[in-house]
Structures are given as C-alpha cells and as structure tokens.
A and B are shown apart, each in its own frame.
Chain A
Amino acid sequence: MLAEKYQDHIADLLARYPVKRSALLPLLNLAQKEEGYVSESAMKEIAEILDLTPPQVYETATFYTMFNMNPIGKFHVQICKSLMCGLVGSDPLIQWVQQRLGVGPGQTTSDRLFTLSVVECLGSCGTGPMMQVNDDYYERLSEERVGRIFDELKETGNSSLKSGPFMVPEPISR
C-alpha cells in the first residue's frame, strides 16, 4: 500500500496544492515508480487518498502516455521516432534494436528485462537518435552504443552512457 509506505511523501505532496486532486499525477507517478505500472489497486487507493472516484483516477491516468496500464519489463526502452530523430537515423536503429531484443514495439523480452516502445519526441532533438530507459536519457546513439547500454543494464542494472545535465554544443575552451 502506498499510503503506509510513503506517508510523509504523500503528506508533503498534498500540502503543495489547495485542491487535493492536483496531487493526482504525482501520486500516479509514485504508484508507477513502485510497481512499474499503474495497477488497478493503486488507482483505487489513490482515489481514496484524494476523495475521488476510481473512474476519475482511471480517466485521467489513461490520458497520459507515460502511465503504463499493464506490467512491463525491468527496463522500459523508449526510442524516439519523430522527424528530428528520423532525419539522423532513428529508423534503422529502431529496426536494429527490434532484432537485437527480438521483440517489436509494445512487447517485452521473454526474460522480462526489456520492454520496447517507439515514442514521439522526447525533447532531445539536437542529439538524436536518442532513447529513454526508465528515468535516464541516452543520446547520440549508434548500434554499438545501444548494444553496450543493453549489456551494461543487463549486467549491473545501470549504464555509464546515460546523459548528464544537457550541454550541446560543448562550450569552446580557450
């Protein structure tokens, strides 16, 4: 249950808004962080916390594409296919990733490690092709780099190739 485990965090969230319902997206985010997706029981619990009906929570949750309504793999691989990434090679990369993982968009590998999504613009157009894996951005991708990222994630659960704070182009050092 979220309410017990995150009592202080939820109290802090509720204190930020004069209207309880405003905490709905933050709580859905919390629920997803906890379970990897937004479960029915989590939505019922959130409804109770916010004095809403479960359908009010459901209708809001389903509007936002970042909420997974079904369980997904340990790593959610989201590759951008919008025009700006498309211009610099996201299409062949997406093909390659599908072959490498052996799954298509919306599918999860049989070991439950990777779920692949092909998504619209993630706001990283100067460093395409790019993808997001769970909370992290990975930019200026090539087949070789994606391969390394998948290997590292598999082995350690983390990857050294994730992006830090954004700075492109690099400042000229004189």
Chain B
Amino acid sequence: MPTHEKILLKNMDQPGYTGSLKDYEAVGGYQALRRVMKELAPADLIDIVKQSGLRGRGGAGFPTGVKWSFIPKDYTGPKYLCCNADESEPGTFKDRQLMERDPHQVLEGIAIACQAIGAETAYIYIRGEFRLGAKILEHAIDEARQARYLGENVLSSGVPIQVYVHAGAGAYICGEETALLESLEGKRGMPRVKPPFPATHGLYQKPTVVNNVETLANLPHIVTRGADWFASIGSPPKSTGTRIFCLSGHVKQPGNYEVPMGITFRELIYEHAGGMRGEKPLKAFIPGGASASFLTEAHLDVKLDFESVAQAGSMLGSGGVTVMEEGTSMVWAALRLMEFFYHESCGKCTPCREGSSWLVQVLQRIVDRRGRMEDLQVLADLCQNIVGRTVCAFGDAEIAPIVGTLQYWRNEYEDLIRESTAISTTSKELPVLALNS
C-alpha cells in the first residue's frame, strides 16, 4: 500500500499523544500562530491561503482564501468567525476525531483565521450530541487562554481573540451556514435567503466567515510549511491538500483515513479500509455523505477530488464514504436516507417540506410491496420539483439518493413493484398523481 504523509492526523498517531497543550507544543504547535501575530499582515495571510488552493472541507468546497477576501476591508465594527463543528452529514465523523484528539490544532487554526479576517470573537458551533468534544474543547480553550494563545492579548500583540464553544441541540440543518447563524442567534435554525451573504451580513448582521473544523485545522500547517508545499499535495490545481475520508458500511476496517486528494476510490476502499468485510463484492458506494448521489463499482477508479467526482455525477461533499455490498436493497437504502431528510427538513420551503414527506411515503409503499409503476414517475417528478426550488442546498441534497438509485438500479424498484400486483391500483390509502392525462 502506498504510504502518504498525514498532516492533520499525524500528531494523534504518535504513541502517547493526548492532545494536551504540552503535547501540542512539543510537536511545534502554536508556532504558526506566533508567526502570524508577529510577521504576517492579514492581507499576506489571505494571499498565502489563496495560493495554497485550500477549499472548504465541510461539503461545498469553496476556496477558503477567497471566502475570507469577501469580508469588507474597511469595516471597523465587530466581525465574527464561526467554526462549523455541526458535523451532521450522515457518513461523516472526521471533525469529531480532530476535536477530541487534537483540539489545539483546531484552536490554532481558529486563531489564525480570526487574525486573517480581523475577528475578535469566534464561536465553535458544535453539534449538541458531541458532549465529550465540547468538554475537551472547553478545556483546551482554558489551556490556550492561560498560555495567552487566546484571550485579551494574544501573544502580547495587543490583539484579543476570544473563542467560545456553542452547542447545538440536534438539528442537521444547522450545518448550513446561515441556519447555523440563526441558531447561534438563539432562533429556530432556518436558512436565510442569500444574498446578502454572511461575509457582509452574517452573525448579528455583521461580517462573518463560517469555516469547517477540518478546513481550519489545515491552516497552521499551511502557514508553517508554505502555500507551495500545500498546493503540491493532492490533485492540483483545483483539489490541493489531503482530505480525511470517513469509511463506513460494509468495509473490513471502517474509520477515518487521511489521504491526498486524487487517489482513487479503489485505493481508498481496498487498500486503506481493507476491502469488503466478507465474500460479497461491492455493489454501491456513497462518495461524500448522504447528500451525494450513489455510485457503482464501475466508478471505483474515479479520483477522489472535487472535479472528478462531480464529473461522475455525484460530489465529494463532506468526505463520508459509505460502502454497500451485493445484496443490499437500494430502494431500502434510498428510503433510509429519505427518512433522514424528511426528519431534518426545517420546514421553511414548501417543496422540501412537503416533497420530503411525499417521497418517504412513496418509497415506503414500494418497499412494503404496495407500489405502482406510476410511482416511479411520481418519484422523478417530485425530485424535479424540489431541486433548485428551495432557499438552501438541502433540497438538492435530499433528492440525491433517489435520483442515483433510480438511475442505476431502476430494476430493483420495478421488481418490488411487480411483487405488489395484488394491490389494487385504485387504492386510496395514499395520494397518487394521475399522470399522462
């Protein structure tokens, strides 16, 4: 197996590494922040991150340096950084490891980002269930404050950087950046209409940047080792650096694997994660969290970078790779994910709120052998009427499992429906659209 240098998971791989401030300093921690506070002007820092090619690790993959540069330069009032630690995309569990095992790496990244955009306050919005992670971060913040890496006067530079942990309370949608801001303001976590964008009207209507945990954790390394070094890793020019891919499902060794972008799914699944757990061959995989459309074994040689996965008809998303073996019902799998989206739709936009409920009902009746052939058209129709018709990207995400499975495994839907012929086609138990009339 080819070995790749780890960047983000490197410290915690050392035997005995606890993630304490002492341990982190011993491996060169907070040297990047020193450099940022003493030598680097914010504009230069933004340039370095732009040149590194770092793109957001939360799902959308927006270039981080460019995002920062949208913050108005001449604005003198308060600005905010939000660290998105909501990690709620099914199949994704990398930020949890970064926060629990090496919290100071994240905090140093937060402090660097604050300095780049001129924010004096940062909030870490962590999903409510991660009680342990929140506790570990709180403790690390205390340590960093005492050592003056955070606080009123960071490293005697006169610059204050305050970091607070803010726990959510169980809403997937709060991983969407404007919903996160609403939630942080103490409201229902419903996405805002954009524009205006958070860069000008974010938290409390002030300029705000929202960055994912993994994105921020990369910053100390980029500052220390340089933009060129980072840009040479992975699949340049558009997908630079490593990614932590979260393997779940029917693989031998599920878990987090940090690899350079651009390796193939085959290498990730068969060499890093040990291949399939049993005798059954791979049937399908989700390449980037529940919002990414399913792919098949024919896509195993697709490269793990933003462009290649998009070209294959899906997305690299959050890096959650879920593998399914032969024998897994794709209709059942689509239903499971659809139930998730139905449960998590915030209810703001009608197509998403009503559509998700309707999609679950139709899928459920197909799985229960009560489906009709017309249902396939109903599914396709519903999907078409959700995509692009909602305030946030949730609408586009929720149809992904259905569109993908319908494309590659339509026969499984049809087989289930054929088993349902005993059921009256005029049953009134659930609404059926009259089509082709």
User: A residues bordering B, Cβ < 8 Å?
Assistant: 16, 18-19, 21-26, 28-29, 50, 59-60, 63-67, 81-84, 86-88, 120-128, 132, 135-137, 163-169, 171, 173
Contacts and interface: CB of A to CB of B under 8 A. Distances in A.
B253 A169 contact: yes
Given A25-B169, A66-B129, A169-B253, A123 B336 contact: no
A81 B290 CA distance: 14
Interface string B151-190: 0000000000010101111111000000000011111110
A84 B246 CA distance: 11
A88 to B, nearest CB: 7
Given A25-B167, A63-B189, A65-B171, A84 B91 contact: yes
B50 interface: no
22 contacts: A18-B78, A19-B186, A24-B186, A29-B128, A60-B187, A66-B170, A67-B170, A83-B90, A83-B340, A84-B249, A87-B248, A121-B88, A122-B129, A125-B90, A125-B92, A132-B129, A136-B132, A165-B19, A168-B254, A168-B255, A169-B254, A173-B15
Contacts of A50: 186
B410 interface: no
Nearest to A12: B164
Contact of B340 (A16, A60, A82): A82
A21 B183 CA distance: 10
B185 A64 contact: no
B123 to A, nearest CB: 8
B248 A125 contact: yes
Nearest to A140: B254
Contacts of B15: 171, 173
Interface in B27-58: none
Nearest to A64: B169
Given A19-B204, A123-B87, A66 B322 contact: no
A67 B129 CA distance: 11
Given A21-B186, A25-B169, A87-B249, A66 B128 contact: yes
Interface of B: 12-13, 15, 19, 78, 87-93, 96-97, 100-101, 127-132, 136, 162, 164, 166-172, 183-189, 204, 246-250, 253-256, 290, 320, 322, 324, 328, 333, 336-337, 339-340, 343-344, 346
A82 B93 CA distance: 14
A87 B129 contact: no
A171 B290 CA distance: 27
A121 B92 CA distance: 9
Contact of A64 (B168, B204, B324): B168
A94 to B, nearest CB: 13
Contacts of B340: 82-83, 120-121
B127 A123 contact: yes
A125 B132 contact: no
Given A22-B184, A66-B129, A126-B248, A167 B97 contact: yes
Contacts of A86: 336
Given A22-B186, A164-B132, A173-B15, 12 more contacts: A19-B186, A60-B188, A64-B189, A67-B170, A87-B249, A123-B127, A125-B93, A136-B132, A165-B101, A165-B136, A166-B93, A167-B101
Contacts of A22: 166, 184-186
Nearest to B164: A16
A164 B135 CA distance: 12
A171 B13 contact: yes
Contact of B256 (A19, A59, A168): A168
Contacts of B339: 120
A45 to B, nearest CB: 15
B186 A64 contact: no
B185 A126 contact: no
B10 to A, nearest CB: 10
Task: Select the residue from A28, A122, A128 with max chain B CB neighbours within 10 A.
Answer: A122
A26 B90 contact: no
A165 B130 CA distance: 11
A120 B343 contact: yes
Contact of A167 (B12, B184, B187, B189): B12
Contacts of A120: 90, 172, 339-340, 343-344
A67 B247 CA distance: 30
A18 B290 CA distance: 36
Contacts of B256: 126, 168-169
Contacts of B127: 123
Given A66-B128, A120-B344, A88 B249 contact: yes
Contacts of A164: 132
Contacts of A166: 93, 96-97, 100-101
Contacts of A88: 248-250
Contacts of B188: 59-60, 63
A167 B188 CA distance: 33
A24 B343 CA distance: 23
Nearest to B290: A83
B246 A25 contact: no
B87 A87 contact: no
